[in-house]
Structure 1
Amino acid sequence: MSNVSGDSLPDAWNQELSRTLLPTSVFLILCIVVGMVGNSLVIAIYGLKLRGAKERYFIPYLALVDLLAVCETAGFNVSYNFRAVNYDNKELCRWSWFFGYLTSVMSIFLLLVIAIQRYLKICKPFAKQMTLKWKRVAMLCAFVGAFVITAPIPVTYGLDPAYSERFNVTGSACRRLTQENRSLSLVHAIICNVIVAGVVWALIILYTLIGRTIYTQMKQWKTQESSGNAIQMDNMPDETNNSSMSKRNKKTMFKITLMFMLISVIFIVSFSPKVVIFILECLNDRFWDSLPPETRLLVRFFDVIFVINNIANPFVYAFLDVKFSQQLRQIFCDLDYSV
């Protein structure tokens, strides 16, 4: 490094990191494009064309949150990749982290609300269900909860010293603070990890119960069809002769529930690496600074792969929701392809 002056050492280090992280920047830009198009279509179809469908009530709101999340988190992480160790805008850094976390946590909480609603619908059909009023209250609680959890972010995140042994220089990174407000930052990080872990376990438990009920019901239907006899289930009273819901409607409800189950699985898989890296950051304040370039690229990719959670849902709807796929085909068929 003898041919690099002292004043340009931070820039040389930052340029090296930018080149190293270029593949993740390309990945994030693609996510922004896909997320904007996909979530906008979901909002347009479910929010306008399929408006009033009770089974799909939360979908346009989840899509709106995902749209905001992918634009904010992916956009910020692209800028972070190009200014990994020479970030100089303290306020932009703090509030970018805040809004990124706010939209991401809001998306997670909405998945939990949806899981609770599906559990009541499938496993407790005669218990009190979510009315329109309580669905709105649940969304408000999800937003308030997300805001409370992310409120400390402007204090626990900011410009943090980053040191390179190779360049023997100290830069400025936009990340969780390890020097200033260190104790508060660490406590907040632990609380966030615990909450995310709690939501994950809640989703696993709820959808396990839901899946077991659906499996039992489908098994009973298969037996009924093969034997030709009407079967009355003790654990599914709404399947009696007095039920107002037809088998076809029930299957549609099950399919939508399985759709939300898959969405939750995608969330768990895509967010797990982020949680692991979050824990490693808490255990080692110099976690990122100590990574060699080739390892940093791989770890950074796992650090941002959670963005998939905000772009995957439109694909799930397209494959599993017949009404959505029909509306989607109609939109593309109505387009004027003439030049």
Structure 2
Amino acid sequence: MDVEAWNSDLMEDMLPKTIFLICCMAIGLFGNGFTLLIYCVKMKMSDERYFIPVLATVDLFAATICPILGVMESRMIVTFYNASVCKIFWAAASFLTLMSVFVLAIIAIQRYLKVCGSVGSNMNIFWRRISLVICIVLSAAFATPMIIFHSSVEIKNVDKNLTGFQCARTNEEDETVVIIYGVILVLTILIIMTLLVVIYTKIALKLYRHYKSIEKHENSMWIRQSDDHEMHTSDTLVTGSSDEHGSSKDQGLQEKEFKPQKIPKTKVDKDSKKTNITHKLTTMFMVITMFFILCYVPKVILLVMEGLYDGFWENMSDNLRHVLTLVNEIYIINNIINPFIYAFMDSRFQNESKNLFHCLKI
């Protein structure tokens, strides 16, 4: 048996992971590409949706680079000879993944300022651009070490007397440096997750109190109208007997006029309408963040396990390794799920999408 035959045997076990990654890449390319088309071409840029095209662009590239890297690692398990390709793809995948995380954190801060901040505390265009620069710098700082830590690493099969190469972490660096980097990376992700949970919890409480106050106001108006109707009906009954011919007709008109009606919920005031849009988009970003946390929790757990146990992947059974290898890629769902959330929760995105499809049919 040669290295190619050894690689072919290993590829069969990685087929589920390969299919999963290819499907994710196809969905991510279409979904994020369509999102960019709608938000950049059909919709006017606004501060409410400023970060959506940015997030869609990052997700578009992440949903391309990360699956490609995963597929190459799954198809060239012991035949990954090109060290430069390994380094470049690991650095690019890390940069895009972290960029997506940092952008979600900036979005959370923006939503907090809009919903919970004082009047005039909104993030203006200058600070939005500065925040994006900070995201790029931090992502690049965390991604750059991947060029050093990863390469085409020699791997031996003693039983078959074969030597292959795989794209993996090298053993040439000081183990202490690698551990410190891993700890900082995991802590950063955990801090961001905690920050997101705290921010959106405060936002959720604010929105809850807002809608409860609206409901209370509408109920009080309903009760007030009902009381006014009852008082007017009583006055009509007292005075109605003095006019035998006109009382029945007048009473009917007056009852119709004073019939209590619930206050309509449609907001005609411009500021109220704008506030309503802000709250709906904030809820949408809360859902996006919830999916991000769900997708990244398995990844963080596996990163911690890798750091705590030497030979974590090598010492487990083949079946368990195959399952956890697939679980380790679940984070990519975070880069493909957002277009579906926009489609369900952004009414303007829905309308523009329908208009676009209608034009294509014509």
- TM-score bracket, shorter-length normalisation: 0.7 to 0.9
2:109 is equivalent to residue 105 of structure 1: no
Cα pair 2:114 2:121 within 8 Å, conserved? no
CA RMSD of aligned residues (A): 2.0
Cα pair 1:156 1:181 within 8 Å, conserved? no
Q: Which residue of 2 aligns with 1:283?
A: 308
TM-superposed CA distance for 1:179, in Å, is 4.4
2:357 is equivalent to residue 325 of structure 1: no
TM-superposed CA distance for 1:320, in Å, is 0.1
What aligned pairs does 1:176-195 form with structure 2 within 5 A after superposition?
A: 176-195=169-188
Q: Deviations over 1:55-78 (max 9, x none)?
A: 101000110010011110111111
Distance of 2:103 and 2:158 partners within structure 1: 43
TM-score, structure 1 length as denominator?
0.88
Q: 1:274 aligns with which of 299, 311, 314?
A: 299
AA partner of residue 184 (structure 1): V
Cα pair 2:32 2:57 within 8 Å, conserved? yes
TM-superposed CA distance for 1:284, in Å, is 3.0
Distance of 1:122 and 1:129 partners within structure 2: 9
Distance of 2:6 and 2:317 partners within structure 1: 12
Q: Which residue of 2 aligns with 1:128?
A: 121
2:68 is equivalent to residue 43 of structure 1: no
2:271 is equivalent to residue 246 of structure 1: yes
TM-superposed CA distance for 1:181, in Å, is 4.0
Q: Which residue of 2 aligns with 1:262?
A: 287
Structure 1 pair 125/49, CA: closer, same or farther in 2 (3 Å)? Answer: farther
Distance of 2:158 and 2:308 partners within structure 1: 20
| Structure 1, gaps ≥5 residues long | 230-243
2:80 is equivalent to residue 55 of structure 1: no
Secondary structure at the aligned position of 2:32 is classed as: helix
AA partner of residue 71 (structure 1): T
Structure 1 pair 167/324, CA: closer, same or farther in 2 (3 Å)? Answer: farther
Q: Which residue of 2 aligns with 1:197?
A: 190
Distance of 1:123 and 1:163 partners within structure 2: 58
TM-superposed CA distance for 1:295, in Å, is 1.5
TM-superposed CA distance for 1:314, in Å, is 0.2
Secondary structure at the aligned position of 1:54 is classed as: coil
Aligned residue pairs: how many? 317
Structure 1 pair 127/13, CA: closer, same or farther in 2 (3 Å)? Answer: farther
AA partner of residue 195 (structure 1): T
Q: 1:297 aligns with which of 322, 325, 339?
A: 322
Q: Deviations over 1:96-138 (max 9, x none)?
A: 1000000110110000000000000001132522111111111
Secondary structure at the aligned position of 2:289 is classed as: helix
Structure 1 pair 227/72, CA: closer, same or farther in 2 (3 Å)? Answer: same
TM-score, structure 2 length as denominator?
0.82
| Structure 2, gaps ≥5 residues long | 223-268
AA partner of residue 326 (structure 1): N
TM-superposed CA distance for 1:331, in Å, is 1.5
Structure 1 pair 92/179, CA: closer, same or farther in 2 (3 Å)? Answer: same
Structure 1 pair 83/290, CA: closer, same or farther in 2 (3 Å)? Answer: farther
Secondary structure at the aligned position of 2:329 is classed as: helix
Worse overlay, 285-294 or 162-171: 162-171
Worse overlay, 53-62 or 42-51: 42-51
AA partner of residue 86 (structure 1): T
TM-superposed CA distance for 1:159, in Å, is 2.5
Distance of 1:155 and 1:333 partners within structure 2: 51
What aligned pairs does 1:84-233 form with structure 2 within 5 A after superposition?
A: 84-126=77-119, 128-162=121-155, 171-228=164-221
Structure 1 pair 159/181, CA: closer, same or farther in 2 (3 Å)? Answer: farther
Give the percent of matched residue pairs that are identical in Structure 1 and Structure 2.
31
Q: 2:334 aligns with which of 303, 309, 331?
A: 309
